[in-house]
Structure 1
Amino acid sequence: MVKTNPGWFFEDYTLGQVINHAVPRTVGPGERALYHALYPARHALYSSDQFARASGLPQSPLDDLAAFHVVFGKTVPDVSLNAVANLGYAEGRWLKPVYPGDTLRSTSEVIGLKQNSNCKTGVVWVRTRGLNQNDETVISFVRWVMVRKRDVDAPAPETVVPDLKPALAPADLTIPDGLDFSDYDLTLAGEPHRMADYEIGEQIDHVDGVTIEEAEHMMATRLWQNTAKVHFDATNREDGKRLIYGGHVISMARTLSFNGLANAQMIAGLNGGAHANPCFAGDTVRAWSEVLDKAQTVAPGVGAIRLRLVATRGGAPFVLKGEDGKYLPHVLLDLDYWALMPV
């Protein structure tokens, strides 16, 4: 009897299938320390219990993207172990902060299937939820991946492409209980810019860059218990290179955005995202942002700002696609998200 897990292939998925992922994980200060060691993370709300309490929270939460990575990592053995590529994200919502001591687990529902014309791969859409020890959903998101088929002659399922929102409305965002930026300390946060200081259409070059090292990206991916073969085993790619986990690029870009968006404290929604080109060790990641929208929230002193975050490996900032409408080769990530910021 075979006891090892070769991962799921495209023909193993069925529409409406619910997958409860192993293994629950209790997060603590160690995740925060490693996250801040791997990325230049400096947002005050995730660095200081005192700053968080002054903002109405009981203590400093785990970084939003650290919580995302933990939840995402649990899905990999069942969703993307045999993936060719992680294609995109939609309808991401951070519903409750994750605090040290919380235990997270993940569950996913298959909401779409489409076999590719080459009959060798197919696209699987899943809606994933991360739950805490109280069975409360702390994060929810849709992602779609291109997955290999085990048997190219296996019959194709009926094509179902889910109807997803192009963007979350401000009313779709959940504001953490008690969050209050009325007495927000701009000096401690690191920059003087409130939401009113940003204009829709404004573009910000975040200036700094970080060269990704092989050991660091593999350590980060292991931290999230992400077992996808392409991140570790160079024989899984024809070019013999390990592919950088896309979430590593997301976190790097988000933390680089501190320089210019230090007060975009909490991620509240993920409207969409694309890993435009693969990233490899030795690439130097830079980032720029564009302000897409702004909105008030019901929480005192708290506004919502919609941002496009673009990660590149060089090239001119603010240039995203060529005349053919395709991403330029230096663009690594195109992410559309909502963040909470003092008004």
Structure 2
Amino acid sequence: MTKTSPAKTNSGRFFEDYAVGDVLQHAVPRTVSGGERALYHALYPSRHALYSSDEFARRSGLPKSPLDDWAAFHLVFGKTVPDVSLNAVANLGYGEGRWLLPVYPGDTLRAVSEVIGVKQNSNGKTGVVWVRSRGFNQRDDCVLEYVRWVMLRKRDVEASAPVTVIPDLAKVLRADQLVIPAGLDFSNYDFNLAGEPHRWGDYQVGEKIDHVDGVTIEEAEHMLATRLWQNTAKVHFDATARPDGTRLIYGGHVISLARALSFNGLANAQMIVGLNGGAHANPCVSGMTVRAWSEVLDKAETSAPGVGAIRLRLVATSGAAPFALKGEDGKYLPGVLLDLDYWALMPL
């Protein structure tokens, strides 16, 4: 006789499972090693010197080379997926992101999220959930934080709509809200080793830079990358999870590709310290060739010796012409994949 027992597997949360104020403690802690860096550099054409060389990092006032900022972000993000976006239709945007401490090999990261907003869509079948996620190291120091909002399916379309709460988020982080890593000093910065001579003063607000190069996304590579971050979202792996039978490329994969491509023209935009906003404008699937361009949005001095802050718009495209972004209707053009607004640190 077959005995039945309560299900032990997790089918993930749906829209009606979230309420403002919920705190989600995410599994599983992850100890970082040099392997993450090696794989990150194998997956993306990443060449920024501060993240490639311990000696370059020490010359810049850090104890050694940290993990790439986006790699740290992806590790924390991946922890949140089973509790936040396993059943997501789409990851809609980001805001109020700050990198607070460098992450080094040997650090152990865990993640915690708080639900700060909910809104059911007019179709009654989906809704949007806002969460503020934080990553902590083994000393319980917060290494990064960010807000993201996700569209989720409802398990029961007849379930009552919750009271709408839309968080009031800052459109842009002020320069004085950025956290400069302790000891960072670009006074003795080696531009030859970094790869380009362009410093903070060489960039003008409004300037646009075509990063020229492109990378064609392969099916195996994007799934390997997403597994590296322990991101379990079904749409990235299961070809039956989307009506068209394609696997959706993890948005962070596109972010890292675009950031790596931006080296050509922004090799000295070293540390990323702020994420003002971001949108995955159109779906990305295997076979697309990703290119990137940037626009300088703002600049600010910092208190760290030889260090300036530069605010950049990073746009990833597939098929769109350089510097083309939106149509006359105000909507993103079909070839635009990513529109990201961030702060980076650069030598003066």
TM-score under structure 2 normalisation? 0.98
Alignment-derived partner of residue 239 in structure 1:
244
Other structure's SS at 2:240 match: helix
Other structure's SS at 1:318 match: coil
Distance 1:284 1:84 in 2: 23
Distance 1:302 1:336 in 2: 20
The structure 2 residue matched to 1:6, chosen from 8, 11, 14, is 11
Structure 1 residue 257 corresponds to structure 2 residue 262 = yes
Alignment-derived partner of residue 3 in structure 2:
none
- 1:126-169 Cα offsets, whole Å, 9 max, x none, are 00000000000000000000001000001111000000000000
Distance 1:318 1:334 in 2: 11
Structure 1 residue 273 corresponds to structure 2 residue 281 = no
Verify the 8 A CA contact 2:320 2:333 in the aligned structure 1: no
- 1:186-222 Cα offsets, whole Å, 9 max, x none, are 0000000000000000000000000000000000000
The structure 2 residue matched to 1:301, chosen from 306, 312, 321, is 306
The structure 1 residue matched to 2:76, chosen from 71, 79, 95, is 71
Segments of structure 1 that go 5 or more residues without pairing to the other structure are none
Alignment-derived partner of residue 148 in structure 1:
153
Alignment-derived partner of residue 196 in structure 1:
201
Structure 1 residue 115 corresponds to structure 2 residue 120 = yes
Identical counterparts, % of pairs: 80
Q: Which amino acid aligns with 1:187?
A: N
Report deviation, 1:314: 2.2
Report deviation, 1:315: 2.1
The structure 2 residue matched to 1:170, chosen from 169, 175, 191, is 175
Alignment-derived partner of residue 106 in structure 1:
111
Other structure's SS at 2:102 match: coil
Alignment-derived partner of residue 35 in structure 1:
40
Alignment-derived partner of residue 214 in structure 1:
219
Distance 1:29 1:188 in 2: 21
- 1:270-310 Cα offsets, whole Å, 9 max, x none, are 00000000000000000000000000000000000000000
Distance 2:165 2:320 in 1: 38
The structure 2 residue matched to 1:133, chosen from 113, 118, 138, is 138
Report deviation, 1:177: 0.3
Verify the 8 A CA contact 2:20 2:118 in the aligned structure 1: yes
RMSD: 0.3
Alignment-derived partner of residue 44 in structure 1:
49
Structure 1 residue 325 corresponds to structure 2 residue 341 = no
Distance 1:27 1:147 in 2: 30
Distance 2:159 2:33 in 1: 44
Q: Which runs of 4+ in 1 moved over 4 A?
A: none
Q: How many residues align?
A: 343
